[in-house]
C-alpha cells in the first residue's frame, strides 16, 4: 500500500446514488470497499458529505436563512455517517462516528486525539456534522481533518465524475481531464469539483488530493494502493 493513513471524503451524492436519501445497496458497496482497505492494514478516516439531503445554499435560494440551512446540511451528513457505520460493521469492521455537533446518543464528539487512537487500533473513524460551523463545506472539513489527524493524502471520492476537467464534462463536450494539476492552476481556473477554500487549505499545508470516481467498484483500494487514477492535485 502506498499510504499508512488516509482521509477519504465521500460526497453526499454517493450515498443517495444520485437521488435524495440513502440507497442501502450503494452504501453497502462503498462499505465493502472501505472495509477491504481497512483489512489491508491502512488507517482510514472518512469525512461524509450531505448533499443527498440538504445543501445550505439551495435552501437559502428557497428563502431560508443561510446559517440555519447550513445546520440542516450538517445534520444530514450524520444520517449518512450512521448508514456507512452500519454497513461497515456488517462487514466486520470496528467503527466510530465522531460529530462536530454533540449528539451523545448516536456518536462521540469530535476529539482528534481519540480519533487517532481509534485509527491506531484499526478502527474506521467516520467524521460527521461538518465543522459544526455554517458557511463551510465538507470538502474544507475533509482538508482540515486530514491535516489534524496526520493523513498523508486526501482522497476525494466522487459520483458521476472520474477526476478534474477543464470544464464541466456533463455540459461541455470535449472537456479535457487532468491527470495532474497544481493547486495554483486549479484556483486560477476557478474549477468547482471541490471548493476553493478546501484547495487553498491543502495548498498552504501541502496536502495532496486525489479526485477519483466511486462508480467503479474497487477504486478506493486502487487509489490507496497508489495506482494512478483520477486527478492528483498537488504542489
Residue 133 engages ligand UDP in binding (rule: CB under 6 A): yes
Strands 231-234 and 209-213: antiparallel
- CB neighbours of 183 closer than 8 A, spacing ≥ 6? 199, 200, 202, 203, 233, 234, 235
Residue 127 engages ligand UDP in binding (rule: CB under 6 A): no
Among 73, 128, 163, 230, binds ligand UDP (CB under 6 A): 73
In the complex, the smallest distance separating the C-beta of residue 26 from ligand UDP, rounded to whole angstroms, is 14
CA angle, residues 87, 89, 90, in degrees to nearest 5: 60
From residue 141 to residue 170, what is the string marking binding to ligand UDP with x (rule CB under 6 A)?
A: x-----------------------------
Among 70, 93, 146, 220, binds ligand UDP (CB under 6 A): 70
Integer angstrom CA distances of residue 231 from 57, 65, 182, 213: 27, 35, 10, 10
Residue 79 engages ligand UDP in binding (rule: CB under 6 A): no
Strands 153-158 and 209-213: parallel
Residue 130 engages ligand UDP in binding (rule: CB under 6 A): yes
Which residue, chain included where needed, has cell 492494514? 41
Q: Where does this chain bind ligand UDP (CB under 6 A)?
A: 11-13, 49-51, 55-57, 70, 73-74, 77, 130-131, 133-134, 136-139, 141
Amino acid at each position: 500500500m502506498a499510504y499508512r493513513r488516509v482521509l477519504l471524503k465521500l460526497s453526499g451524492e454517493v450515498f443517495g446514488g444520485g437521488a435524495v436519501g440513502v440507497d442501502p445497496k450503494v452504501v453497502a458497496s462503498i462499505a465493502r470497499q472501505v472495509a477491504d482497505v481497512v483489512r489491508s492494514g491502512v488507517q482510514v478516516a472518512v469525512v461524509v458529505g450531505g448533499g443527498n439531503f440538504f445543501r445550505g445554499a439551495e435552501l437559502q435560494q428557497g428563502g431560508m436563512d443561510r446559517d440555519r440551512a447550513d445546520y440542516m446540511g450538517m445534520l444530514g451528513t450524520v444520517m449518512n455517517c450512521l448508514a456507512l457505520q452500519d454497513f461497515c460493521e456488517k462487514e466486520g469492521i470496528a467503527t466510530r462516528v465522531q460529530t462536530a455537533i454533540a449528539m451523545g446518543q448516536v456518536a462521540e464528539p469530535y476529539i482528534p486525539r481519540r480519533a487517532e487512537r481509534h485509527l491506531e487500533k484499526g478502527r474506521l473513524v467516520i467524521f460527521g456534522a461538518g465543522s459544526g460551523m455554517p458557511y463551510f463545506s465538507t470538502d474544507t472539513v475533509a482538508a482540515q481533518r486530514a491535516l489534524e489527524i496526520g493523513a498523508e493524502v486526501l482522497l476525494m471520492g466522487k459520483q458521476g465524475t472520474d477526476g478534474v476537467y477543464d470544464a464541466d464534462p456533463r455540459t461541455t463536450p470535449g472537456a479535457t481531464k487532468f491527470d495532474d494539476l497544481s493547486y495554483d492552476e486549479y484556483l486560477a481556473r476557478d474549477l468547482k469539483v471541490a471548493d476553493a477554500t478546501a484547495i487553498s487549505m491543502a495548498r498552504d499545508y501541502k496536502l495532496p488530493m486525489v479526485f477519483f470516481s466511486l462508480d467503479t467498484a474497487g477504486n478506493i483500494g486502487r487509489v490507496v494502493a497508489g495506482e494512478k487514477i483520477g486527478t492528483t492535485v498537488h504542489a
